[in-house]
A and B are shown apart, each in its own frame.
Chain A
Amino acid sequence: MVKNIEKYGIPVVHVCTVTPISMTVGANRIVPAIAIPHPLGNPKLSADEEKVLRRNIVEKALKALETPVDKQTIFE
């Protein structure tokens, strides 16, 4: 899906846990997530803490979208 949206020239950031699969399938901007069942959350945290965590990941995703890349890049 990532590649076929990006074909239109729209940059896509792929937020996912298993970054090796993302690399294999060819996403260009990759942001690591927390875990497969809760990529943008952590049930061990309080609701407020969790939302901060989620915002940090989304901010990282935005930063990735603002960064020019010429090859597949993981934004750790």
Chain B
Amino acid sequence: MKKLELGIVPIKDIQFASKSEVKDGVCYVNKDDIVNLLKDDENIENIELFIAKPGDSTRIMPVKDVIEPRVKVSGNGAMFPGMIAKVDVVGEGRTNVLRGMGVVTTGKIVAFQEGIIDMSGEGAKYTPFSKLNNLVVKVDTKEDVDKHRREASVRMAGLKTADFIGKLAKDIVAEEVETYETLNVKEGIAKYPELPRVAYVYMLQSQGLMHDTYVYGVDAKQSLSTMIYPTEVMDGAIVSGNCVSACDKNTTYHHLNNPVIKALFAEHGKTINFVGVIITNENVYLADKMRSSDWASKLCDFLGVDGAIVSEEGFGNPDTDLIMNCKKITAKGIKTVIITDEYAGQDGKSQSLADADASADAVVTGGNANMVIKIGPMDTVIGYPEVADIIAGGTAGSLKADGSIEAELQVITGATNEIGFNKFSAR
């Protein structure tokens, strides 16, 4: 059994100041504190900090990760176990959440899967992060640092910064407290004998550089499918290592605020008994795909669930992992709903998924990522606008002379998210 309280600390503004603190809903940041925190990493050459607020004429690109600052107030362990904190079980006690704020990392491009956040205008409609007060950490690594180490350095810089900011709110008494509780199998059956048992099958990208996810510090590709308490996810047990492919990969912010977990908790004890989360990966070897989907369906069976929601991350070959999971879980007599997004072509007329099966008769979609959008020029661009021509969804000439960008929706961070974060969809 695990019970976690989230203490909500609303953040209405971020300002640079001589002292780092959180006071009266404002996060004050002393830039030197962050620079000192990050400069020990010998791969890093330069660190710059910016603030981007909702409505600003500001574009951030290429965006790697977005993280919500949180801090453990009580209970075992600390945030981001295995990455920042020592490995120790999290997910109980109380955690303070700096709601309304994000730490966004940017820097020179590592690979194609990086995105754009616009704080106003057309592009802002599609990304949830335009609604946050963002502390943008721009990290540039030394020239001779290879891609994998560059990715790791920027990833860790984001997590360290979020951890530092989170700790500023450790002693603040939260305005509002949300409580989440998961019983063990025996207790759950005893308490809700009549309710259908439901699990969440949480697929994690695990295909190498820019496509990785870490669970308690373990690269998800090296793990068999396993179980995790939903509250562990809220305490940073799952961290994005993919620097965020723009539209449909999960940032650390998404993991911390997984809306499927939240929506299942909202019905827990009323219409369903939400028994827990099964995490499974999306690897590059077919044998892994088969083994992981076998395992995910076996765990569903083992938990005795009646229903499952399966969410995908990414697209293309992971569509097969999604379909395999759906097929195998359905074959155990379990009712299944899957969440995906679509690549139906710019005209919307093509096949949306790379794979298909009749068992996938209940599909929720985050929209067609191939839709072309035009986003106007911004007064401020934090990062490197020229990558618009090469990131996934861009094309040669995407970046116009006036600074506007014409590209597929793919380029917008979080636009067609597949854990159902957005209202955006397609029919």
Contacts and interface: CB of A to CB of B under 8 A. Distances in A.
A/B contact in complex, CB under 8 angstroms = yes
Interface of A: 17-21, 24-25, 32, 34-37
A20 B207 contact: no
A18 B207 contact: no
B208 A18 contact: no
Interface string B297-333: 0000000000000000000010110011000000000
A18 B286 contact: yes
Contacts of A36: 207, 284-285, 317
Contacts of A17: 284-286, 317
Given A32-B286, A35-B284, A37-B284, A21 B319 contact: yes
B355 A21 contact: yes
B351 to A, nearest CB: 8
Contacts, number: 34
Given A32-B286, A35-B284, A37-B284, A21 B354 contact: yes
B289 interface: yes
Interface of B: 207-208, 284-286, 289, 317, 319-320, 323-324, 354-356
A21 B208 CA distance: 20
B208 A20 contact: no
A52 B386 CA distance: 42
B355 A24 contact: yes
Please report whether the interface of chain A is mostly helix, strand, loop or mixed according to DSSP: mixed
Contacts of A21: 317, 319-320, 354-355
Contacts of B208: 37
A24 B352 CA distance: 13
Nearest to B327: A20
A55 B285 CA distance: 19
A76 B320 CA distance: 19
Contacts of B317: 17-18, 21, 36
Contacts of B285: 17, 34-36
Given A37-B207, A37-B208, A20 B320 contact: yes
18 contacts: A17-B284, A17-B285, A18-B289, A18-B320, A20-B320, A20-B355, A21-B319, A21-B320, A21-B354, A21-B355, A24-B356, A32-B286, A34-B285, A35-B284, A35-B285, A36-B207, A36-B285, A37-B208
A51 B354 CA distance: 30
B284 A20 contact: no
A1 to B, nearest CB: 13
A75 B284 CA distance: 20
Task: List the 8 shortest-distance A-B pairs measured between CB atoms, nearest first.
Answer: A36-B284, A35-B284, A18-B317, A24-B355, A35-B285, A20-B320, A21-B354, A18-B320
Nearest to B288: A35
Nearest to B354: A21
